């Protein structure tokens, strides 16, 4: 429904709208409302809401001169309209408008305001100097069916434990596969929260979901893994990411969370004569957080190994760097199968480079073994058969 704009209006982007919907659906508890200045100061001072960890104030401070002028003009008790993507998103009753320092806000989220840090500048550009608090009602709320899906799946497999795993799978490589298998060994149900960013970069969400579904359906036992989309707004991007992951996982019904040893938010710090990580800051959120081993391919062991158990050293180990594997795929190169499963490479390449061959059938019959039958072949078929030739060893 397009707004008639009888009220004063504020314009918010899709990320802010998504965060507000998560708030309304109880997925960010202990945060349950937009915070006023006093509540914000308390969270900054203690890092807690009602005795439970929350990493920074949950506020709404939209940028832009038009928004700033509207915010300055508002009075307590006034009704305003929130617009997102040119459509009425919500109605709000103003409780308070208060000043914030955008640079402080950036530091609260990312731990730094250095513009060279990924995401800092983009986030800084979308934060204004005035924040607003107040109760709001979403005009056309999304149907959050995922919580019920998880509850149904838990009942179906009689899961004693439900474990969350946050994953971009951009692309899904062998290290991801081992992490998934390792996590499955100690849980009844695994929920993979597949991150869905707002700035669609690299592989689209649909391609990544298709790859993950292929792996689950063909190489894992059925009914033990569920994919849930997680809209990945900027609040999840900072050094407090693991805390937010734990909060969301718990509110979705998980009692365990697995994170990789190389997780960007798993920084160590020294406090009270001992080494600690961000996990030690989680208070009052009843979820068990496990740090999984980091897996590499060792050319001496000739298999995937944990860095904790491989004795051969870094110079014999190949790490799984998603950005580098993705670069090969974007250039149209088939990555080695020790890095990514050939079926997934074929699937991704056929989506990234459609219709790249002038005469696919001629290439197919000129280069690949055939059974004498004239058949139509897809680009995905071609990549799969070509990979088999790469794996021929008698002439290497």
How confident is the model at residue 232, as a pLDDT? 81
- Measured CA to CA, the distance from residue 175 to residue 179 in angstroms comes to 6
H/E stretch holding 54: none
How confident is the model at residue 332, as a pLDDT? 94
Answer yes or no: are the C-beta atoms of 90 and 136 closer than 8 Å. yes
- Measured CA to CA, the distance from residue 231 to residue 210 in angstroms comes to 17
Signed CA dihedral, 77, 83, 87, 90: sign only: negative
How confident is the model at residue 270, as a pLDDT? 37
β-strand partners of 38: none
* Secondary structure of 248-316 in HEC code, one letter for each residue: HHHHCCCCEEEEECCCCCCCEEEECCEEEEHHHHCCCCCCEEEEECCEEEECCCCEEEECCCCCCCHHH
Distant-in-sequence, close-in-space partners of 272: CB < 8 Å, separation ≥ 6: none
Signed CA dihedral, 371, 374, 375, 377: sign only: positive
* All CATH 3.10.400.10 domain ranges in the chain, comma separated: 9-138
- Measured CA to CA, the distance from residue 16 to residue 21 in angstroms comes to 9
| Phi/psi of residue 266, nearest 5 degrees | -95, 50
> Per the structure block, which two tokens stand in for 157?
């497999």
How confident is the model at residue 200, as a pLDDT? 64
How confident is the model at residue 87, as a pLDDT? 95
How confident is the model at residue 6, as a pLDDT? 73
* All CATH 3.40.50.620 domain ranges in the chain, comma separated: 145-296
How confident is the model at residue 374, as a pLDDT? 62
- Measured CA to CA, the distance from residue 136 to residue 43 in angstroms comes to 21
How confident is the model at residue 390, as a pLDDT? 81
Weakly modelled stretches of the chain, pLDDT under 50: 1-5, 268-276, 396
Answer yes or no: are the C-beta atoms of 173 and 199 closer than 8 Å. no
The DSSP output letter for 188 is: S
Nearest to 226 by CA among 148, 303, 293: 148
- Structurally, what CATH architecture does the domain formed by 9-138 represent? Roll (3.10)
Q: Which CATH class is domain 145-296?
A: alpha beta
């Amino acid at each position: 429904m397009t707004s008639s704009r009888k009220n004063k209006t504020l314009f918010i982007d899709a990320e802010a709208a998504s965060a507000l919907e998560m708030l309304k659906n109880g997925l960010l508890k202990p945060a349950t409302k937009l915070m006023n200045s006093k509540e914000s100061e308390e969270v900054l001072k203690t890092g807690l809401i009602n005795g439970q960890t929350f990493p920074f104030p949950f506020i709404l401070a939209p940028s832009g001169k038009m928004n700033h002028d509207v915010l300055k003009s508002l009075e307590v008790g006034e009704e305003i309209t929130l617009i997102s993507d040119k459509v009425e998103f919500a109605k709000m009753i103003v409780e308070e408008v208060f000043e914030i320092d955008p640079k402080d806000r950036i530091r609260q989220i990312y731990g730094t305001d250095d513009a060279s840090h990924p995401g800092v500048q983009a986030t800084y550009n979308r934060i204004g100097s005035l924040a607003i608090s107040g109760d709001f009602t979403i005009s056309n709320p999304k149907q959050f069916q995922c919580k019920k899906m998880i509850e149904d799946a838990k009942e179906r497999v009689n899961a004693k434990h439900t474990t969350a795993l946050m994953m971009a799978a951009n692309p899904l490589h062998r290290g991801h596969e081992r992490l998934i298998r390792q996590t499955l060994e100690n849980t009844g149900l695994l929920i993979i929260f597949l991150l869905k960013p707002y700035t669609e970069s690299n592989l689209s969400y649909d391609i990544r979901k298709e790859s993950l579904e292929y792996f689950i359906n063909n190489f894992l036992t059925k009914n033990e893994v569920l994919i849930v989309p997680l809209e990945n707004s900027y609040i999840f991007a900072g050094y407090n990411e693991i805390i937010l992951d734990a909060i969301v996982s718990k509110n979705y019904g998980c009692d365990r969370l697995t994170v990789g040893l190389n997780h960007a938010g798993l920084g160590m710090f020294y406090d009270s004569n001992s080494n600690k990580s961000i996990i030690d800051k989680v208070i009052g959120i009843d979820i068990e957080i496990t740090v999984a081993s980091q897996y590499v391919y060792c050319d001496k062991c000739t298999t995937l190994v944990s860095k904790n158990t491989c004795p051969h050293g870094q110079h014999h180990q190949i790490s799984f760097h998603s950005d580098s594997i993705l670069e090969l795929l974007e250039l149209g190169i088939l990555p080695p199968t020790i890095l990514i499963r050939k079926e997934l490479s074929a699937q991704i390449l056929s989506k990234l480079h459609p219709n790249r061959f002038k005469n696919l059938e001629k290439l197919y019959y000129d280069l690949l073994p055939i059974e004498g039958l004239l058949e139509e072949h897809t680009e995905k078929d071609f990549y799969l058969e070509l990979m088999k030739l790469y794996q021929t060893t008698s002439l290497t």
